[in-house]
């Protein structure tokens, strides 16, 4: 009887010090499920498109169809950045060609350094669209260092929208060096013209807008 009594007392002791009880197993399973839900929620948040940053520009502040009306920047589902530059009139690749002088272009001006002062230094990245021919545009990401001419880093996907009034440009975050925060502005240059009056900037006051990357 004493041995049996010790055996009955030993059973509960082994349950407390050994394998999890049914309640603990339910708790552990619930915790694993909660962790999985959190992981999926975080992944979904990272994959979701970011809210577009929008810059409105004063119209008729430069002549020609490359007068910027609006600039938008967003992060899309594949992780790339998508810029939309809208103008007051329809444009075509031919709009950017010049019979003489410099070609026309439309660019995002990007400062990637966290301590950059856009009022004092040039942007270190440019995302620009120009014309390859009368029927085709081309996009690219360029790096600016010091007084040297911009260096082309990589291509950027570019197209004219069906309305003819906007350019869509897509480019990778890695082409910017993956900073946490960037400052942006935009500019367009009328083809064949080197005067300051042929350049339209947005925002019109020469300031920049901040855009946080993920």
Measured CA to CA, the distance from residue 201 to residue 185 in angstroms comes to 7
Q: Which pLDDT does position 12 carry in this prediction?
A: 44
Phi-psi region of 164 (alpha: psi -120 to 50; beta: other; left: phi over 0): left
Q: Which pLDDT does position 92 carry in this prediction?
A: 95
DSSP 84-137: EEEESS---GGGG--SSSSPPEEEEEEE-STT--TTTS--SEEEEEEESSSS-E
Q: Which pLDDT does position 11 carry in this prediction?
A: 46
| pLDDT beneath 50, residues of the chain | 1-19, 24, 27-30, 32-49
3-class DSSP assignment, residue 179: coil
- Which ranges constitute the DSSP H helices of the chain? 2-17, 22-47
Q: Which pLDDT does position 197 carry in this prediction?
A: 85
Q: Please state the domain extents for the chain.
A: 2-47, 53-212
Say if residues 168 and 84 touch (Cβ distance below 8 Å).
Answer: yes
Q: Which pLDDT does position 56 carry in this prediction?
A: 93
- Fold designation for 53-212: Immunoglobulin-like (2.60.40)
Q: Which pLDDT does position 53 carry in this prediction?
A: 94
The structure tokens listed for 64 are 């020609």
| pTM, two decimal places | 0.76
């Amino acid at each position: 009887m004493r041995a049996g009594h010790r055996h009955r007392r030993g059973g509960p002791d082994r349950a407390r010090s050994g394998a999890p009880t049914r309640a603990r197993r339910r708790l552990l399973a619930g915790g694993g499920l909660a962790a999985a839900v959190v992981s999926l929620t975080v992944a979904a948040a990272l994959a979701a498109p970011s809210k577009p940053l929008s810059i409105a520009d004063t119209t008729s502040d430069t002549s020609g169809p490359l007068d910027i009306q609006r600039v938008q920047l967003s992060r899309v589902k594949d992780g790339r950045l998508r810029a939309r530059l809208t103008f007051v009139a329809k444009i075509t690749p031919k709009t950017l060609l010049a019979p003489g002088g410099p070609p026309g272009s439309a660019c995002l001006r990007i400062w990637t350094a966290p301590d950059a002062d856009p009022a004092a230094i040039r942007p270190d990245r440019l995302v620009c669209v120009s014309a390859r021919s009368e029927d085709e545009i081309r996009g690219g990401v360029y790096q600016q260092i010091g007084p040297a001419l911009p260096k082309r880093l990589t291509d950027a996907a570019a197209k004219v929208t069906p309305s003819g009034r906007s350019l869509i440009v897509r480019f990778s975050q890695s082409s910017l060096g993956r900073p946490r925060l960037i400052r942006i502005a935009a500019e367009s240059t009328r083809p064949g013209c080197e005067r300051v009056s042929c350049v339209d900037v947005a925002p019109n006051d020469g300031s920049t807008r901040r855009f946080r990357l993920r």
